[in-house]
Amino acid sequence: MAKHMKKLKLRVIVLAIVLFFSYLTSSLAVGLPLQINHGLALLTVSLLNAAVVSNFVASAKWSGIRLILALFAIYYCITTFLTQIETIVFLEYFADIIPATYIPKLFIQGIIVALIFSISAVLIHGKLKNNQADFSVENKTLVGMSFVSMLYVILYFSFGMFVFMPLAGNSFYEYYGNLQLPMWIIPLQIFRGFIWAGLALIVVKAVDSKHELTTALLFSVLMASLLLMPNEFMPDRIRFAHFVEIATSNFILGWVAVRILKYF
């Protein structure tokens, strides 16, 4: 047992180093500024991400290309797609804060990092050999995914109002003062909710046990940990408030989503 834990820790460290340099090199490749002075924060993020992803890969019954694609979908969607589509939607409100030219670069960087990270994680954990694990979705599963989507919408607005806003304080009105939520914000969040449901379903199908905890940690840590990185576009007070909001709401989402999907 001790030998196994030692080997797992070593794999997490190696994977974290791979992720750390993936972020640095991909930033150079797409033309994003390097935050060298925030290297310790990036290393912390890399270690946290490597830990929760290693937990997922090590417990997965899938392997080979299927596991790589599953991990790519999970990592890219959580760390890039689900966050940046909101940036695009509200770009007109942040035009003076976030350069529009950054957005496509962030999407491309996300693809590069997710691809390198996914392949490396499966390779480092010795799961490159393909297996014949089944993946099927029944009609009733779509009903469960609909409930997960509705759950996400409820969590999105309730945690935004009762967790994020109080923690942000006056900084909320300074940073989001001109922000007005359009009518289509609810359909957008329903769409995002279905993506979250799909990711939860992948985890349920891919791993043998501890589905709730594995999903909750992936959802919470992968997205919230990014807010540990200081950035020029978001004040520290706003960043901290978002960190608490996302870390808690995504953990609940991941745990309850699995329960819902198992029920259906």
Annotated domain spans of the chain: 2-263
Digit-coded pLDDT (tens) for 191-233: 999 999 999 999 999 998 899 999 999 999 999 999 999 988 8
Higher pLDDT, 160 or 180: 160
Beta bridge partners of residue 231, listed in sequence order: 234
| CA–CA gap between residue 224 and residue 239 (Å, rounded) | 10
Beta bridge partners of residue 60, listed in sequence order: 207
Positive or negative CA dihedral for 112, 114, 118, 120?
A: positive
CB 121 within 8 A of CB 53: yes
Between CA 138 and CA 146, with CA 71 as vertex, the angle to 5 degrees is 35
Per-residue pLDDT, 180: 78
Query: 133: which residues sit within 8 A by CB, 6+ positions away?
Result: 61, 62, 63, 66, 205, 206
CB 9 within 8 A of CB 47: no
| CA–CA gap between residue 170 and residue 177 (Å, rounded) | 10
Q: Once rounded to an integer, what is the mean pLDDT over residues 102-108?
A: 94
Per-residue pLDDT, 93: 67
Between CA 21 and CA 28, with CA 23 as vertex, the angle to 5 degrees is 95
146 band by pLDDT with thresholds 50, 70 and 90: very high
95 band by pLDDT with thresholds 50, 70 and 90: low
Query: 64: which residues sit within 8 A by CB, 6+ positions away?
Result: 122, 127, 128, 129, 130, 131
Per-residue pLDDT, 34: 73
The three-state secondary structure class of 98 is coil
CB 262 within 8 A of CB 138: no
| CA–CA gap between residue 155 and residue 253 (Å, rounded) | 8
Higher pLDDT, 100 or 35: 100
The b-or-e profile of 54-82 (16+ CB within 10 A means b, else e) is: bbbbbbbebbeebbbebbbbbbbbbbbbb
Q: Is the pLDDT of residue 2 over 90?
A: no
Per-residue pLDDT, 177: 74
Instruction: Please choose, from the candidates 167, 257, 263, the residue with its C-alpha nearest in 3D space to the C-alpha of residue 217.
Output: 257
Q: Once rounded to an integer, what is the mean pLDDT over residues 34-48?
A: 88
74 band by pLDDT with thresholds 50, 70 and 90: very high
Q: Work out the number of other CB atoms within 10 angstroms of the CB of residue 137.
A: 12
CA torsion 240-243-245-246 (nearest 10°) is 160
The three-state secondary structure class of 131 is coil
Q: Is the pLDDT of residue 16 over 80?
A: yes
Per-residue pLDDT, 89: 79
90 band by pLDDT with thresholds 50, 70 and 90: confident
Positive or negative CA dihedral for 180, 186, 187, 190?
A: positive
Q: Is the pLDDT of residue 109 over 80?
A: yes
Digit-coded pLDDT (tens) for 164-196: 999 999 999 888 877 777 788 999 999 999 999
